[in-house]
Structure formats: C-alpha cells, structure tokens
Structure 1
Amino acid sequence: MYELKTKENDNSVLEFIEQVDNPKKREDAYKLLDIFTETTGHQAKMWGTSIIGFGSYHYKYASGHEGDAPLVGFSPRKANFSLYFATGDENRDKLLEEFGKHKTGKACVYINKIADIEVEVLKKLIIQSIEFLQETYPANN
C-alpha cells in the first residue's frame, strides 16, 4: 500500500529555516512564517523534510486514496519559494492575477522573493485556500 512521505513531524521549523544558505531567502522565510502564522492562526509544523505547513485536513479521493496534508504551507527551495494552496477553486486564479511576479505549477505557486508579490493578496490566498478545503473536507471542522 502507498504511504505518504510528507507527514507532519516534530522537527524544528526554526532550525529548518536557519539552514537556508542565502541570508535574504532566510529573512523572507521568516517573513512568510509570520504572515502564514498570523493569517491562519495555526502553529507552523514541519511536513516531511522541507515543507512548513499550517493546520491540517484529512482528504479521501474517489479512488480510495486518503491522507493528511497541511491546509497551506511553503518551502524555501534553492531556486525559489514554493507556496502550497488548495487547487480546484476558481477564486485562486482570480487572486493570482493580482498577486505579482510568480509562476504556477500543478499544486504550487512559485515566487522568488516577498518583494515581488502583494502581501495582502497572499493573505487572501491563504484564507481562500483554508475556506475551500474546510468546505470540501468538512469532517475537519
């Protein structure tokens, strides 16, 4: 049976951020930590070895696959920051139009630095993602 690699754990978020080599990226990681913590009201937790997640929800797909994931999160990768928001909500795309310089992947939004984005739109993306996931997976409320 398939087992998720990205699970919530007790590794230190602050120690993880301190390992970011680039001082500017490390500073932005702390700013994101503050923004996500303040906006979500959740304590930051490590998920796997490199994702800082906030809150959690349990999902179950029609295929029977199920698991737990953070409501939102981010990761300071070498090339850029990966921001994790819910997919599937049309409001996400509308907000991303106002977000600033970014790229999107299947499930991630990538930014180079906080100075490239609108922080107020980031907060709206965080809230929208949490509301969407709590409506989609109501057992977690």
Structure 2
Amino acid sequence: MSSTTKTRPSGETIAEFLAGIGDPQRQADCRTLTTLMQEISGYPPVIWASSMVGFGQYHYRYASGHEGDMFMLGFSPRKQDLTLYLLAGFDEHAPLLARLGKHRLGKSCMYLKSLAQVDMAALRELVTLSLQRMHALQASTH
C-alpha cells in the first residue's frame, strides 16, 4: 500500500521559505534552527508540505499497511510557536528538558515561543540525541 500523505518535499528552496517568514525575530530563529539542525545532522534542509523544514529522511510502515517517508528531524515556524519535530520523543530526556527553559511538549513535538527563552546547549544536545535515536531505530528495522 503506498502513501497518500501530504507530508512530502515541496520543491521550495530554503532561501524562499525563510524569506517568506514575515516576523523578523521568527525568521532569525528559523535561520538559527536551520544552521543548527544541518550542522548536527549533516543533511541539507528540505521544505516539506510547504510549511516544515526537514533534515534527513526515513521510510515508515505501520501494521495497518500505511507507509510513507518523513524527515528525521525538523521544525516549522507556526503562528503560535516554533514547532520542533524531534521524532524520537522525549521520554529519556528529563534532565535536559529541565535545563532547556520555557517549552511545551507533544508526543514528538516541542513548542517554543522563541530561541531566546531556551538554553541553546541543551537544545543542541536534544537535537543530537533525537537524531542518534532515529538512526538507531532505522538500523534496527533493516
């Protein structure tokens, strides 16, 4: 069964995407996240579904037969918050999250108002650990 997901690369360039962010502070935060995630991952930024910046890619398949491709880590400059997609989750990272500063969590999303409110060293470590876990999960499924 093939995927019909809308979450796929859009073809837009990172320069076009970043230039389209109206708020100067949000744009600066997104430039910082792009640099951070590209540096950590070694993957170039790819715009997914016209609103997310992703790094790396993996293939998933659910027991239901649904399958598709997704980025390994990424972010989106949503209206309310910067949304970081750290798909490996946060269960094992309580000490880092305590150091991070102001944030909210979903299952695999982290919501930040601004990078000025977080400890960038803790964020760097969280991104690194998330990517390492995604690589380990991919290796264990092949």
For residue 89 of structure 1, report the CA deviation from its aligned partner.
Answer: 5.6
What amino acid maps onto 1:68 in structure 2? D
Mapped to 2, the partners of 1:11 and 1:92 lie a distance apart of 33
Runs of 4+ more than 6 Å apart: none
TM (norm. structure 1) is 0.89
- 1:18-76 deviations in Å (ceiling 9; x for gaps): 11111111111111111111111110000111000001111122222221111100011
| Alignment partner, residue 135 of structure 1 | 136
Q: 5+ unaligned residues in a row in structure 2: which ranges?
A: none
What amino acid maps onto 1:38 in structure 2? E
2:65 equivalent to 1:40: no
Q: Please report the RMSD computed on the Cα atoms of aligned residues, expressed in angstroms.
A: 2.0
Do the aligned residues in 2 keep the contact of 1:54 with 1:70 (CA within 8 Å)? Answer: yes
What amino acid maps onto 1:78 in structure 2? K
Q: 5+ unaligned residues in a row in structure 1: which ranges?
A: none
Identity percentage of aligned residues: 34
| Alignment partner, residue 16 of structure 2 | 15
Do the aligned residues in 2 keep the contact of 1:74 with 1:83 (CA within 8 Å)? Answer: yes
Q: How many residues align?
A: 141
Mapped to 2, the partners of 1:3 and 1:11 lie a distance apart of 20
Mapped to 2, the partners of 1:140 and 1:49 lie a distance apart of 29
